[in-house]
Amino acid sequence: MRWYVRRAPDQMDTPVITTTDLRKVYRSRDREVTALDGVDLAVREGEVYGVVGRSGAGKSTLIRCVNLLERPTSGTVEVAGRDLTALAGRSDRAPAALRAARAGIGMVFQHFNLLSSRTVQDNVELPLEIQGVTRRERAARSRELLDLVGLGDKARAYPAQLSGGQKQRVGIARALAGRPQVLLSDEATSALDPETTRSVLELLRDLNRQLGLTVLLITHEMDVVKAVCDSAALMKGGRVVESGTVAELLATPGSELAGELFPLGGAASGPDRTVVDLTFHGESATRPVISQLARTYNVDVSILGAAMETYDGRQIGRMRIELPGRFEDNVVPIGFLREQGLQVDIAPSAEPAAPAVPAVAK
């Protein structure tokens, strides 16, 4: 049995990042590939939002379209109330306007993208240098950021002298140089070992809280979502097929993303058993429902798996239990569970399929 604890997102419903019917099609002479197929996404102010999916699902294309590193084929992208797709038009003023809007968006890359010939401090200062900020202001800002990410003593070091986790911290400091409102993270931890990954995720969460950053991250690692995300979306084939807060997903019966985030293992121990998936939240999550069921109906209940989350002071969870007997023998106990306010779903039968009868040759 595993237990996860997470804070609730700030009570802010204002979307800071919005994509509407976003499409991206790559064309060549003999083929075209649809990387994004009508993606609608809304990331609220102050939350950490994770986009997950397998390789080729469209995650990287999506995050690169959010800051217009990739120009969408159609649809719109709004960040902090500005339509970036409109700013990316073909007028003479568009490039300058888009650059100004991008200054409010920080980007953290998977492979750090640090300049090996520049010191750590110089790497952090690079965006400010491009913006024309004075040397004194750049130096003060870079020292402040390096202290913030725990690398104040590495200012004069070079990237080759740093560990992978330290390099990523430099990348994060550089992304924050322009005081962005939004931070984008493109698989920022996939090249790191588990311990370093945890420390970098803790840093991102701390920055989210301290600076009020809105963070959009993409990942293929469910542990990343469990560790830091308030909300998440699952992508398949260039589309968002499921999204919501982690708490909502966990409390949604049949949620594929919840099943990936909080898997409930366990199959029936025999043919005459009923496996039931329970989803509970609110008051039902704090009542001893399972023990009441066992006492009231004198039934032996086996807990096969459970995932519980404490969210904004409320427990929300899922549980898989096994009851003796077939479904028709358990109608009353299952009715009792539903009367307690639980969502009850009968798990697919664990009985092996009957062997096929070979066809008789005629």
Distance CA 353, CA 50 (A): 38
Mean pLDDT of 261-278: 83
Give every CB contact of residue 46 below 8 A, 6+ residues apart in sequence.
9, 10, 12, 208, 212, 213, 214
Say which DSSP state 337 is in: H
pLDDT over 90 (residue 97):
no
Residues of the chain by 3-state class (helix, strand, coil), percent to 5: 35, 30, 35
Tens digits of residue pLDDT in 114-142? 999 999 999 999 999 988 999 999 999 99
CA-nearest of 353, 317, 333 to 276 is 333
Taking the C-alpha atoms of 267, 243, 67 and 101 in order, what is their torsion angle to the nearest 10 degrees? -150
Distance CA 267, CA 328 (A): 18
pLDDT over 70 (residue 84):
yes
Give every CB contact of residue 143 below 8 A, 6+ residues apart in sequence.
121, 152, 155
pTM of the model: 0.81
Give every CB contact of residue 90 below 8 A, 6+ residues apart in sequence.
none
Other beta carbons within 10 angstroms of residue 358's beta carbon come to 6
Strands of the sheet with 273-280, listed across from one edge: 2-6, 302-311, 314-324, 273-280, 343-346
Tens digits of residue pLDDT in 24-63? 999 988 889 999 999 999 999 999 999 999 888 999 999 9
pLDDT at 352: 38
Distance CA 37, CA 59 (A): 12
Tens digits of residue pLDDT in 196-249? 998 999 999 999 999 999 999 999 888 888 888 999 999 999 999 999 998 888
Say which DSSP state 252 is in: S
The β-bridge partners of 250 are: none
Tens digits of residue pLDDT in 291-304? 999 999 999 999 99
> Kind of pairing, strands 273-280 and 343-346?
antiparallel
List, in order of start, the domains of the chain with CATH numbers.
2-104+180-257 (3.40.50.300), 265-346 (3.30.70.260)
